[in-house]
Structure 1
Amino acid sequence: MRIISGDFGGRKLVAVSGNNTRPTADKVKGSMFNMLGQFFAGGSALDLYAGTGALGIEAVSRGMAHATLVDKAYPAIQAIKQNVAATKAEDRFTVLKMPVDKAIKTLAEAGQQFDLILADPPYAKQEVMDQLAAFLAEDLLAPDGRVLLETGLDVDYPETIPGYTKLRHQTYGVAQVLILQRGDEA
Structure 2
Amino acid sequence: MRVISGTCKGRPLKAVRGNETRPTTDKVKETIFNVIGPYFSSGIGLDLFAGSGGLGIEALSRGLDRVIFVDRDSNAIQTIHHNIALCNMEERCEVFRNNAERALKAIMKRNLQFDYIFLDPPYRKQKLEELLTFIESKKLIAAQGTIICEHSTDVVLPQKIGKLERAKKGDYGSIGLTFYHLIDSEKGV
User: TM-score by structure 1 length?
Assistant: 0.96
Greater alpha carbon shift after TM alignment, 147-156 vs 158-167: 158-167
Structure 1: give runs of 5+ residues left out of the alignment: none
Per the alignment, residue 44 of structure 2 pairs with 44
Following TM superposition, the consecutive aligned residue runs of length 4 or more in structure 1 with deviations greater than 3 angstroms are: none
Per the alignment, residue 15 of structure 1 pairs with 15
The code of the aligned residue for 2:174 comes to V
Looking at structure 2, the residues matched to 184 and 40 of structure 1 have their Cα atoms a distance apart, in angstroms, of 21
Per the alignment, residue 179 of structure 1 pairs with 179
The code of the aligned residue for 2:184 comes to D
Looking at structure 2, the residues matched to 113 and 160 of structure 1 have their Cα atoms a distance apart, in angstroms, of 20
CA contact (8 A) 2:71 2:99 kept: yes
The code of the aligned residue for 2:8 comes to F
Per the alignment, residue 90 of structure 1 pairs with 90
* SS of match in other structure, 2:165: strand
Per the alignment, residue 129 of structure 1 pairs with 129
Looking at structure 1, the residues matched to 157 and 96 of structure 2 have their Cα atoms a distance apart, in angstroms, of 28
How well do the aligned residues superpose, as a CA RMSD in angstroms?
1.3
Query: Which string of whole-angstrom CA distances, capped at 9 and with x for unpartnered residues, describes residues 121-149 of structure 1?
Result: 10001100011011112111111211001
CA contact (8 A) 2:51 2:80 kept: yes
Looking at structure 1, the residues matched to 181 and 158 of structure 2 have their Cα atoms a distance apart, in angstroms, of 15
Report the CA distance between 1:155 and its aligned residue.
1.6
Please say if 1:167 is aligned against 2:134.
Answer: no
The code of the aligned residue for 1:181 comes to H
User: TM-score by structure 2 length?
Assistant: 0.95
Structure 2: give runs of 5+ residues left out of the alignment: none
Greater alpha carbon shift after TM alignment, 3-12 vs 156-165: 156-165
Looking at structure 1, the residues matched to 172 and 129 of structure 2 have their Cα atoms a distance apart, in angstroms, of 20
Report the CA distance between 1:184 and its aligned residue.
2.4
Looking at structure 2, the residues matched to 7 and 147 of structure 1 have their Cα atoms a distance apart, in angstroms, of 23
Query: Which string of whole-angstrom CA distances, capped at 9 and with x for unpartnered residues, describes residues 98-137 of structure 1?
Result: 0000010000011111111001110001100011011112
Query: Which string of whole-angstrom CA distances, capped at 9 and with x for unpartnered residues, describes residues 11-68 of structure 1?
Result: 0000100000000111111111101120111010000000000000101110100000
CA contact (8 A) 1:144 1:183 kept: no
* SS of match in other structure, 2:150: strand
Percent identity of the aligned residues?
Answer: 40
CA contact (8 A) 2:151 2:175 kept: yes
Looking at structure 1, the residues matched to 167 and 37 of structure 2 have their Cα atoms a distance apart, in angstroms, of 11
Looking at structure 1, the residues matched to 11 and 42 of structure 2 have their Cα atoms a distance apart, in angstroms, of 21
Report the CA distance between 1:89 and its aligned residue.
2.0
The code of the aligned residue for 2:101 comes to D
